[in-house]
């Protein structure tokens, strides 16, 4: 039960962060969305064995988290939530891949490299998406998606789902509480009650959805979700976009860790 | 001002499962009136409100607002004149901030952002929560949520305010605040409630519903003090009219 309460709190926390007023928060949501999308494509574009070349990309989230003055712990915690799934996907690679390499006298499967690459990629991608939400906020993000000509139906779906996760969780929490209080001898929900429990939740959700829709219609809702006047692009936005695009292009075209390496060894020589 | 007039003629409504919720209701409400609609659970109060707003359509009869008959075509027009505050503020507040929620209606009317801001700030001021404008609605207290829900409707500048149980689940102080707020509005008001003391204070006229029919319609002071009528409709004379329980006890002792 407490975990539901915690998730509720956590959900709201991301929204609170999005209301800060730092340089990053003030940037145009559209620009931030584009940079994030390009970043994601960048991460995905590197091959399975190019771990070293992924590393310079870490520069981006580190800069953003600092400029946006975001607390690191809650963001890292959220990234960790995804990791078990990622490990589940990648853990068999070392067993499946037949090729091997030698590291410090140990012969290892190349699967470890691909596993590590999946791991790093997942951290990078989840990290930047969380940063995007924590610096932009869902409603502005929706406006940015709208500017990208994503159909309004999808955006509406996204926004309402986001808003009502908390209401649904509260509903589930209330049901769970009343269940637990009346079944003191057992732990959790008994398997024979799962059906009616889930069914109840679905029915309540339908009812709630109906009422929300009615409340929206009454206030003149016709299917268009207006999030206010669109912001105008400023010079700072364009510089931000241009700067990161140059950085990403450099990371893609040049092997930066290798360059730094040769530079350093050159200096030492 | 004829456009503040609301007329209901021989209204009938049955839910898809065959339950007849409204059974031939007729009444008229005029400019500046404050009308309480009371009745037992399931008497048809909420259904009636939803029909006034055009969320549900009658199987028979009509709703006329001003001189316009409520049909699917006139829906948009009528919903600009009528504002409805739902019983549960969580059904009404769905945006990420209070400001955006209050702006939802005006933006749907296609107003420009300057006018939207004017209206939103004015309505938040009216209900006294302009300091909460950037807060997330789900984090507000019950009373604040109720005030926010009222503001979201006020920002549409309706002629007629319709409220479903505006004082339910509020603590006494918040209830008092909402009541003072309602008293201060000059709108035509239609309020359904089980809080008969609130109806007694705010509404000069009361309509009593019983099993989907109008059981009584008249001055609040006469209707709510009619013990026989109240009991036959599963209601009670408001506490304010019941005399002090302590004094009564004393009288008995004497």
B148: Cβ contacts below 8 Å, ≥ 6 apart: B89, B93, B98, B101, B102, B127, B129, B132, B137, B140
Is the Cβ pair B96, A137 closer than 8 Å?
yes
Q: Do A220 and B109 touch (CB under 8 A)?
A: yes
Kindly compute the dihedral angle of the four CA atoms of residues A259, A262, A268, A269, in this order, to the nearest 10 degrees.
-140
**Partners of residue A230 in chain B, C-beta under 8 Å:** none
Interchain pair A218, B116: CB under 8 A: no
What is the pLDDT, as a whole number, of residue A269?
66
For residue range B149-159, list pLDDT tens digits in order.
999 999 988 99
Indicate the average pLDDT of chain B. Answer: 89
pLDDT of residue A104: 78
B53 has a chain A CB within 8 A of its CB? yes
Q: What is the ipTM of this complex?
A: 0.76
Could A220 and B76 be called an inter-chain contact, meaning their C-beta atoms sit closer than 8 Å? Answer: yes
Query: What is the crossing angle of helices A152-181 and A138-147, to 10°?
Result: 150
List the single residue in A212, A218, A222 with the smallest CB-CB distance to B94: A212
Sheet holding B205-210, edge to edge: B82-85, B160-164, B188-192, B34-39, B205-210, B213-219
CA distance B53 to chain A (A): 7
Q: How far is B242 from chain A (nearest CA, A)?
A: 36
Q: What are the boundaries of each domain within chain B?
A: 6-241
Please tell me the distance from the alpha carbon of residue A229 to that of residue A250, in angstroms, as a whole number: 36
Rounded Cα gap, residues A229 and A139, in angstroms: 12
Inform me whether the pLDDT recorded for B240 exceeds 80. yes
Please count the residue pairs, one from chain A and one from chain B, whose beta carbons lie less than 8 angstroms apart. 80
C-beta of residue B155 within 8 angstroms of C-beta of residue B105: yes
For residue A138, what are its two tokens? 């869902």
Within 8 A of B152 by CB-CB distance, chain A residues are: 219
Q: Which pLDDT score, from 0 to 100, does residue A40 have?
A: 94
Centroid of chain to Cα B248: 34
Contact, A14 vs A190, CB < 8 A? no
Contact B100 A228 (CB under 8 A): yes
- Token look-up 């049909």 returns B71
Which of A215, A217, A222, A225 has the most B C-beta neighbours within 10 Å, making it the best mutation to test the interface with B?
A215
Within 8 A of A214 by CB-CB distance, chain B residues are: 50, 53, 55, 86, 91
Q: Report the pLDDT averaged over residues B71-95.
A: 87
pLDDT for A78: 86
Using CA atoms, how far apart are residues A168 and B90, in angstroms rounded to an integer?
A: 11
**Chain B partners within 8 Å of A139 (Cβ):** 95-97, 100
**Confidence band, pLDDT 50/70/90 cuts, at residue B241:** confident
pLDDT for position A230: 64
Average pLDDT for B47-59: 90
Tokens of B127: 């209900």
Q: Which of A131, A111, A104 is nearest to A22 (CA)?
A: A131
Chain A closest-CA separation from residue B94 CA (Å): 6
Instruction: Find chain A residues with C-beta within 8 A of B91's C-beta.
Output: 208, 211-212, 214-215
Residue B170 sits at φ, ψ, to 5 deg, of: -110, 150
| Chain B nearest C-alpha distance from A151 (Å) | 18
Length of chain A in terms of residues written: 269
Average pLDDT over residues B88-105: 86
Say which DSSP state B72 is in.
Answer: T
Name the minimum distance, in Å, from the CA of B251 to any CA of chain A.
Answer: 44
The 3-class secondary structure across chain A, one letter per residue, is CHHHHHHHHHHHHHHHHHCCCCHHHHCCHHHHHHHHHHHHHHHHHCCCCCHHHHHHHHHHHHHHHHHCCCCHHHHHHHHHHHHHHHHHHHCCHHHHCCCEEEECCEEEECHHHHHHHHHHHHHHHHHHHHHHHHHHCHHHHHHHHHHCCCCHHHHHHHHHHHHHHHHHHHHHHHHHHHHHHCCCCCCCCCHHHHHHHHHHHHHHHHHHHHHHHHHHHHCCCCCCCCCCCCCCCCHHHHHHHHHHHHHHHHHHHCCHHHHHHHHHHHHHC
Helix (H) or strand (E) holding B20: strand B20-29
- Residues B69-96 have a mean pLDDT of 87
Contact flag B79-A12 (C-beta cutoff 8 Å)? no
Contact: A211, B116; criterion CB under 8 Å: no
Which member of A19, A214, A218 has the closest CB to residue B134? A19
A175's tokens: 């049901």
Give the model's confidence band at B252: pLDDT under 50 very low, under 70 low, under 90 confident, else very high.
very low
Contact list in A for residue B92 (CB cut-off 8 A) is 212, 215
Please report the pLDDT score of residue A238 as a whole number.
92
Query: Which CATH number is correct for B6-241, 3.40.50.2300, 3.30.300.30, 3.40.50.300, 3.20.20.60?
Result: 3.40.50.300
Q: Residue A166: list chain B partners with CB under 8 A.
A: 138
Interface test with chain A among B49, B54, B100, B107, by most A beta carbons within 10 Å: B107
Nearest 5°: phi and psi at A100? -130, 165
- The pLDDT, as a whole number, for residue B253 is 45
* pLDDT tens digit sequence for B164-199: 999 988 899 989 988 998 999 888 999 999 999 999
Residue extents of the structural domains in chain A = 2-268
Say if the Cβ atoms of A211 and B104 lie within 8 Å.
Answer: no
| DSSP strand pairing (B68-69 vs B60-65) | antiparallel
Length of chain B: 254
Is the distance from CB of B29 to CB of B190 less than 8 angstroms? yes
**Phi, psi dihedrals of residue B14, rounded to the nearest 5°:** -125, 135
Contact A216 B94 (CB under 8 A): yes
Shortest alpha-carbon distance between residue A262 and chain B (Å): 51
**Cβ–Cβ gap A217/B55 under 8 Å:** yes
With the C-alpha atoms ordered A175, A178, A181, A183, is the resulting torsion angle positive or negative? negative
Give the one of B53, B100, B109 whose C-beta lies nearest to A139's C-beta: B100
Mutate to test the interface with B, among A12, A14, A159, A220 (most CBs of B within 10 A): A220
Residue B243 vs residue B67, higher pLDDT: B67
Task: Give the distance from residue A63's alpha carbon to the nearest chain B alpha carbon, in angstroms.
Answer: 27
Strand order in the sheet with B20-29: B20-29, B6-14, B60-65, B68-69
Taking chain A (269 residues) in consecutive chunks of 10 residues, what is each chunk's mean pLDDT?
64 80 90 94 88 88 92 88 87 82 80 88 92 88 86 84 79 83 78 86 86 86 69 87 92 86 79
Long-range pairs for A23-27: beta carbons < 8 A, 24 or more residues apart: A23/A67, A23/A68, A23/A236, A24/A64, A24/A67, A24/A68, A24/A135, A25/A68, A25/A135, A25/A136, A26/A236, A27/A135, A27/A236, A27/A237, A27/A240
> What is the pTM (predicted TM-score) of this model?
0.73
Interface of A with B (CB under 8 A): 12, 15-16, 19, 137-139, 160, 163-164, 166-167, 208, 211-212, 214-222, 224, 226-229
Is B91 in Cβ contact with A12 (below 8 Å)?
A: no
């Amino acid at each position: 039960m407490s975990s539901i309460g915690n998730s509720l709190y956590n959900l709201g926390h991301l929204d609170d962060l999005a209301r800060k007023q730092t340089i990053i928060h003030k940037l145009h949501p559209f620009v931030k969305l584009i940079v994030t999308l390009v970043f994601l494509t960048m991460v995905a574009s590197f091959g399975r064995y190019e771990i070293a070349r992924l590393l310079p990309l870490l520069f981006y989230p580190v800069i953003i988290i600092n400029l946006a003055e975001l607390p690191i712990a809650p963001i890292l915690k959220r990234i960790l939530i995804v990791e078990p799934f990622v490990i589940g996907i990648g853990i068999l690679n070392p067993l499946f891949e037949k090729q091997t390499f030698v590291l410090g006298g140990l012969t290892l499967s190349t699967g470890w490299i691909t596993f590590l690459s999946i791991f790093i990629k997942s951290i990078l991608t989840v990290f930047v998406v969380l940063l995007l939400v924590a610096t932009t906020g869902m409603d502005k993000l929706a406006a940015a998606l709208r500017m990208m000509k994503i159909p309004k139906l999808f955006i509406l779906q996204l926004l309402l789902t986001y808003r009502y996760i908390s209401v649904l969780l509260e509903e589930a929490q209330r049901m769970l509480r009343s269940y637990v209080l009346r079944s003191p001898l057992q732990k959790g929900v008994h398997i024979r009650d799962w059906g009616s429990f889930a069914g109840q939740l679905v029915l309540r959700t339908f009812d709630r959805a109906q009422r929300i829709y009615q409340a929206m219609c009454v206030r003149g809702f016709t299917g268009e979700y207006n999030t206010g006047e669109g912001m105008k692009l400023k010079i700072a936005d364009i510089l931000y976009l241009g700067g990161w695009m140059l950085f990403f292009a450099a990371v893609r075209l040049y092997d930066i860790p290798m360059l730094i390496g040769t530079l350093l060894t050159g200096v030492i020589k | 001002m004829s456009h503040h007039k609301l007329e209901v003629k021989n209204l009938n409504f049955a839910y898809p499962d065959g339950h007849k919720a409204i059974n031939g209701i007729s009444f008229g409400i005029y400019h500046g009136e404050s009308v309480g609609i009371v009745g037992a659970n399931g008497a048809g109060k909420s259904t009636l409100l939803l029909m006034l707003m055009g969320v549900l359509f009658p199987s028979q009869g009509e709703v006329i607002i001003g001189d316009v008959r409520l049909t699917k075509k006139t829906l948009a027009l009528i919903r600009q004149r009528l504002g409805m505050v739902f019983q549960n503020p969580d059904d009404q507040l769905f945006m990420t901030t209070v400001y955006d929620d209050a702006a939802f209606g005006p933006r749907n009317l296609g107003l420009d952002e300057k006018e939207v801001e004017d209206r939103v700030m004015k309505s938040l001021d009216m209900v006294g929560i302009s300091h909460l404008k950037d807060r997330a609605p789900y984090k507000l207290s019950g009373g604040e949520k109720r005030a926010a829900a009222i503001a979201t409707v006020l920002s549409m500048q309706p002629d007629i305010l319709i409220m479903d149980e505006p004082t339910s689940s509020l603590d006494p102080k918040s209830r008092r605040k909402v009541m003072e707020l309602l008293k201060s509005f000059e709108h035509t008001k239609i309020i359904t409630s089980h809080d008969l003391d609130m109806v007694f204070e705010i509404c000069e006229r009361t309509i009593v519903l019983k099993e989907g029919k109008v059981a009584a319609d008249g001055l609040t002071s006469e209707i709510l003090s009619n013990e026989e009528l109240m009991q036959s409709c599963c209601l009670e004379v408001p506490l304010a009219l019941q005399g002090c329980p302590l004094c009564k006890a004393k009288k008995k002792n004497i």
